[in-house]
Amino acid sequence: MTDDEKIIGYIENGIVIDHIPQGRVWQIVELLHLNDPMRYEGGIFSLGDGYESRKVGKKGILKVEGVSLRKNDIDLVALVAKEATISEIENGRIKQKYDAEIPEVLDGVVNCPNLNCITNDETQRVMSKIYSGDDLFMCHYCRSEFGEDKIKFLGGK
């Protein structure tokens, strides 16, 4: 058992998201909707922030138990924490460990920054669809290209 596990608790089955830059743990909780009781009834998440890390300076850790997250959803973590590592835990052991990678297609996650885009017309209720490229993101509908700095998550965060 590592120090981190001692601090925020051992889990039997679930995922551990490590190396989250300090201050961004809650952003990930919200991005994955872990605090939405309707979606993740019965799930438990525990988090800690401010640990020393050689990789990212100070870091946060998030542990999620009792909910099943799809790989595509977990990968969204990379949008706010590129350096994050994901460990899948099964029966108390690490089953798989990988780096979060931004999914190629983001459906209904990120807003298109073009205010005249059909996806920003609330009356139309068209879900955003954004492609992630090497340096830029691109809206499927209006083809606006934009950098990381313009990312706005749906719901305005």
Interacting positions 86-115 with another protein (CB under 8 A): 112, 114
Indicate which single residue of 121, 133, 148, 157 sits in contact with another protein (rule: CB under 8 A): 121
Quote the CA–CA distance of 143 and 119 in Å, as a whole number.
12
Site for another protein in 63-82 (CB under 8 A): none
116: CB partners within 8 A, 6+ apart: 142
Site for another protein in 125-154 (CB under 8 A): 125-126, 139-145
Distance from C-alpha of 111 to C-alpha of 81, rounded to nearest angstrom: 18
| 118 scored as a contact of another protein (CB under 8 A) | yes
Interaction partner, residue 105 (Zn ion, another protein, none; CB < 5-8 Å by kind): none
- The yes or no reply on residue 106 touching Zn ion (CB under 5 A) is no
Distance CA 4, CA 7 (A): 5
CB half-sphere exposure, 35, CA atoms < 13 A: 10
The residues that touch Zn ion, with contacts defined as CB under 5 A, are: 112, 114, 117, 139, 141-142, 144
